[in-house]
Amino acid sequence: MVCASALAIIISLIFGLARLSKNRVVLGVAAVYIEFFRGTSLLIQLYWIYYVLPLLIDLSLDAFYAGFIALGLNFGAYGAEVVRGSIQAVPRSQWEAAKALNMPSFLQMRRIIIPQTFPHLLPPASNLLVELLKATALVSLISVTDLMFESKVFNQTYWMSLQVFGTALIIYYVLARFILTPFLRWLEILAARKVGKRIVG
């Protein structure tokens, strides 16, 4: 989960920015990548990376790596759209003002644009992270020993599906509802306050 979200965040930043590029080639590559991964389902990507890739280019991935790469690539594509939307939500005048002050474009991005994207970025991004947590259950299908996989093993050993899958459901619920969501809510409030302060100060 942590590995996959780290990968997803990096990918979404890169492709979110690429999606806004003026370079046709960069733009095209980013658009194809995003449409491809958003257009097919995660399970198919997972199977493809785990079962088909080794046949094609003789690159055999451990189930865990295949799982986290598939999750990262899939959610990176969704995240890239979120990044793009939040950058486009920054008012045009901010870009113009930064240009008027003769800021180099890197500094423009880092000091002016990126900090202002956070309040727009975080609510959809936290939704995606909860989705990612739930999607990790899928990696059990390529035999990564996650919570879901362990529950299936227990179920086969003890034949108590109510207890086993019920417990699994409750664990996911507690993780999402009482740990991940409050933490992300706190981040959102923090970001809103930071930006608010900066405008006032």
Partner 1 sequence: MAWRWEFAFEILPQLLWGTLYTLMAAGIGYAIAVVVGLIFLIGQRTPIVILNRITREVVEFIRSTPLLVQLFFVFFVAPQFGIKLAAWTAAMVTIGLHYGSYLSEVYRGALEAVPKQQWEASKALNFTTIRTYGRIILPQAFPVALPGMSNYLIGIFKDTPMLATIGVVELMQSANTVGSLTYRFLEPYTMVGVIFLIISLPAAMALRKLERTVARRQGMTKE
Using CB under 8 A, list all residues that contact partner 1. Answer: 35-36, 39-45, 47-48, 51-52, 55-56, 130, 134-138, 140-141, 148, 151-152, 155, 161-162, 165-166, 168-169, 172-173, 176-177, 181
CB of 134 to partner 1, least distance (A): 4
Closer residue to partner 1 in complex, CB, 50/98: 50
CB of 193 to partner 1, least distance (A): 25
Cβ 165 to partner 1 shortest distance, Å: 4
Q: Are 8 and 132 in contact (CB under 8 A)?
A: yes
Q: Given the complex with partner 1, which of 118 and 172 has the nearer CB atom?
A: 172
Please say which residue, 23 or 60, places its beta carbon nearer to partner 1.
Answer: 60
For residues 124 and 13, what is the distance between their CA atoms, to the nearest angstrom? 14
Q: Which two three-digit tokens encode residue 9? A: 């965040």
CB 83 within 8 A of CB 17: yes
Shortest Cβ distance from residue 65 to partner 1 (Å)? 18
Residue type, 83: V
Of residues 107 and 174, the one with the C-beta less far from partner 1: 174
Nearer to partner 1, 2 or 199 (CB): 2
Cβ distance 103 to 111 under 8 Å?
Answer: yes
Give least dist CB 24 to partner 1, A.
21
Q: How many whole angstroms from its chain centre is CA 113? A: 21
**Which residue in the block uniquely carries the two structure tokens 């809103």?**
192
Residue 81 near residue 154 (C-beta atoms within 8 A): no
Q: How far is the CB of 137 from partner 1 (least distance, A)?
A: 4
Do residues 1 and 133 make contact, with C-beta atoms less than 8 angstroms apart? yes
Distance CA 181, CA 33 (A): 29
Helices (H), 89-113: 92-100, 105-107
Q: In the complex with partner 1, which residue's Cβ is closer, 55 or 100?
A: 55
